[in-house]
Structure 1
Amino acid sequence: MQGVHRSTKRLAPMKTGKSTAGDTKARILDATEKLFIEVGYEATSLRQVTSRAMVNLAAVNYHFGSKDIMMQAVLGRRLGPLNARRLALLDACEAHWPGHRIRCEHVMGALFVPALQMARNSAVGGPSFLRLLGRVHADTSPFIQSYLMEHCATVYKRFFDAFSRALPEQPRHELGWRLQFSLKALAGVLASDDISNLMSAFAQGRPLSDAHMLAQLTAMVMAALRVPAPGSEQRASLQSVFDLDDANEAMQRAQAQGRETAAAAAIAAANAVANADAGHRAEAAAAKPRQGARAARNEGTARAAIASVPVRAREPAVTFPSNPLDDWMRMRART
């Protein structure tokens, strides 16, 4: 019998209404992006995406095939244009302020100005764009970290070299971990809010430009990059706090051991009292005179006899009051 041939070509999902394949794909990407911002990569599921995008699972499989490919498309459509704009602006800054004339603020501006501009434009980023960047850099899932290493390593190296020229007093290894720490802290702030709320928080009812807001955001980052390395006095001060904590822990352990010792002593005293009482009872039982074997047998026989008597036989006789006339006749006969 001739075998049934099964095609390996994926079937397109059935279209409904006037929705096109491009619209469906965009809805899926938008839904995935919003879920990723809200809950991160690991907690984003295909079931949630289909529910948010109002499509079936066949549509997701048709356009992407897997969750990883779908997430790569989400990140690629945002981070790709962003990194291109960042590198172009960094090139312009380095040309305008060559060599060590470039300042830390210039490099920080080249890193964040394109992100702010894209957040202002709904066609390429929109209001949630900064939150997306914050989530990307704060997400610890292996997939996101691998994607950043693969697609953003060149950009990171260019900006690290620029920061090194702007901060020649900092050793490269010191600058590296400071950048990682401070930029991740800033990413956490961006992931928790959107640009409108940030503007409102910084403005406090006053007009505030993007440059002013960026200065507010990056001030602490640049302070962390520029602060000198800690000296011996700072290390000694912190070491004294560690020593004080050790002393407090030792005192608490000693107090706890003292309480345990007191509790053990109380338990031992209670046990001694109980043992003494048990000894007294044993001595009293030993001092009690013993019955002879015959007396014990007689006592047992008497108890058995009493127990064998019928209940009615053991009941006391019932007496009735005497007749007064009979008593008078008996007394007269005696006289």
Structure 2
Amino acid sequence: MKTGRSTAGDTKARILDATEKLFIEVGYEATSLRQVTSRAIVNLAAVNYHFRSKEMMMQSVLGRRLDPLNERRLALLDAVEARWPGHDIRCEHVMGALFVPALQMAREPDIGGPSFLRLLGRVYSDTSPFIQSYLIGHYAPVFGRFFEAFGRALPDVPRQELGWRLHFALKALAGVLAGDDLGNLMPTFTQGQQMSDAHVLAQLTSLVVAALKAPAPSSDQLGALQDVFDIGEDQHADERAKLEHIAALAATVEDEAQTVAAATAAAVNRARRGSARSVRNEGTARSATASMAVRRDHCAPFPSNPLDDWMRTRPRT
């Protein structure tokens, strides 16, 4: 029989699992508490009881996965730096310390599981301000350690240049991981051949390392791209001129249509006023005719005969 404490623990775990899956599928902004409660089969009161807010719930999701990952990363980086001190360290060594723990956790269901790489990909590619601020606030020391290690492995790359190159390369790799788990990546890189995790990681990191070590663009490369930009700007200017011409024609047509509509409305109003006057005049004429008829029917009586008047008024004896 489960105790109340274990039941509460199970509820909390279900909420975290549901939130993690939704975050992997749709990202932080699109993950709603309603979706979490539906997938975890709990009510909103349970979510509020354990986490009080969506932000705290997501912090718990990230913390339970990323905290153990970063502990492993730092431990492995310490061992790598002890083995290859100073500038003896290679870029591949640092990349290994960054990704080997993630591959290990992806094979351990209790602390990561098959979806762990997709979770990492979503974390590093999600653009929501909350996720980005959380990563900067909680894992800045880890990022700093690895940045310094990359700097020793790539001493010829200026630090400012190295910063945005790392950002670009790791974001690109994170986008790949966010779309597919390791099981889908393996056939792509191995092409049906059996390969170890080290071989697969080498395939992935070779792209990243190439981006980090790429030489600065030459004047010929810059000139070629500038030529394309110039052509594109000319095309854009031509297209914009066409659109402005079309907009001007449309405005002219609209003005003419409004003028015609106003003239038509005025003509209709004049016609209505003329019709109303005709009706009023016709009514006045009919009234006058009726009045004349009434006056004819009530003509004054013909004067009486004076003798008759005398005969009617004389005294009778």
Letter in 2 for 1:64: F
For the residues of structure 1 that align with 2:57 and 2:47, how far apart are their CA atoms? Answer: 8
Cα distance, 1:116–1:243 mapped onto 2, change above 3 Å: same
Q: Alignment partner for residue 46 of structure 1, among 27, 33, 36?
A: 33
Question: Shift in Å at residue 255 of structure 1?
Answer: 7.3
Residue 122 of structure 2 is aligned to residue 130 of structure 1: no
* Superposed CA offset, 1:239-275 (max 9, x none): 11112223334555677899999x99xx9xxxxxxxx
Q: Quick one: distance in 2 between partners of 1:18 and 1:61?
A: 17
Is 1:67 the counterpart of 2:25 in the alignment?
Answer: no
CA separation of 1:255/1:70 partners in 2, compared to 1, >3 Å: closer, same or farther?
closer
Q: Structure 2 CA distance, aligned partners of 1:141 and 1:212? A: 33
Unaligned 5+ segments in structure 2 are: 254-317
Residue 139 (structure 1) aligned with residue 144 (structure 2): no
Amino acid of the residue matched to residue 222 of structure 2?
Answer: R
Q: How many residues align?
A: 250
| 169 and 57 in structure 1: CA distance in 2 versus 1, 3 angstrom threshold | same
- Tell me, in whole angstroms, the C-alpha distance in 1 between the residues paired with 2:192 and 2:5: 45
1:96 and 2:83 are equivalent in the alignment: yes
**Residue of structure 2 aligned with 1:202, choices 176, 183, 189:** 189
Q: Which amino acid aligns with 2:189?
A: F
Structure 1 residues without counterparts, runs of 5 or longer: 1-14, 268-335
SS in 1 for 2:96: helix
Tell whether 2:171 aligns with 1:184.
Answer: yes
- Verify: 1:30 aligned to 2:17, yes or no: yes
Q: CA RMSD in A?
A: 2.4
Structure 1 residue 148 and structure 2 residue 135: aligned? Answer: yes
| Cα distance in structure 1, aligned partners of 2:5 and 2:80 | 47
CA distance 1:249–1:37, shift in 2 (3 Å)? closer
The farther-off stretch of 246-255 and 93-102 is 246-255
Q: Report the secondary structure of 2:114's partner residue.
A: coil
Alpha-carbon distance in structure 2 between the residues aligned to 1:257 and 1:47: 47
Tell me the distance in 2 between the aligned counterparts of 1:19 and 1:205.
45
Counterpart in the other structure of 1:213: 200
Query: Which runs of structure 2 are paired with 1:234-313 in the superposition (5 Å)?
Result: 234-250=221-237
Residues 76-110 of structure 1: CA deviation (Å, up to 9, x unaligned): 00000000000000000000000100000000000
Amino acid at match of 2:177: L
TM-score (norm. length: structure 1): 0.70
**Residues 260-292 of structure 1, C-alpha deviation per residue, up to 9 Å, x if partnerless?**
99x99xx9xxxxxxxxxxxxxxxxxxxxxxxxx
- Residue 22 of structure 1 and its aligned partner are, at CA, apart by 1.2
Whole-angstrom distance in 1 between the partners of 2:144 and 2:78? 13
SS of the counterpart of 1:122? coil
SS in 1 for 2:123: helix
2:315 paired residue number: none
**Which residue of 1 is the match for residue 270 of structure 2?**
none
What is the match of residue 107 of structure 1? 94
State TM-score, norm by structure 2.
0.74
Alpha-carbon separation, structure 1, partners of 2:202 and 2:111: 24
Distance 1:243-1:50 versus aligned 2 partners, 3 A rule? same
1:109 maps to a residue whose letter is G
Judged with a 3 Å threshold, the aligned counterparts in structure 2 of structure 1 residues 77 and 254 are, in CA distance, closer, same or farther, namely closer
Query: Residue 215 and residue 251 in structure 1: after superposition, are their counterparts in 2 closer, same or farther (change >3 A)?
Result: same
Give the CA deviation at 1:206. Answer: 0.9
SS at match of 2:109: coil
Change (3 A) 1:17 1:180: same
In structure 2, how many angstroms separate the alpha carbons of the residues matched to 1:87 and 1:144? Answer: 21
Q: Matched residues in 1 for 2:28 and 2:232: separation?
A: 39
d(CA) in 1 for partners of 2:10 and 2:155? 50
2: distance between equivalents of 1:57 and 1:258?
A: 57
AA aligned to 1:183 is L
Q: State percent identity of aligned pairs.
A: 73
Give the drift of 1:158: 0.4
Which amino acid is 2:146 matched to? F
Give the distance between the partners of 2:22 and 2:245, measured in 1 at CA.
Answer: 55
Q: Does 1:157 align with 2:144?
A: yes
Q: Which digits, 9 at most, give the CA deviation of each residue in 1:5-64, with x for residues without a partner?
A: xxxxxxxxxx99997111111111101100111111111111111111111112111211
| CA 1:240–1:49: 2 relative to 1, 3 Å | same
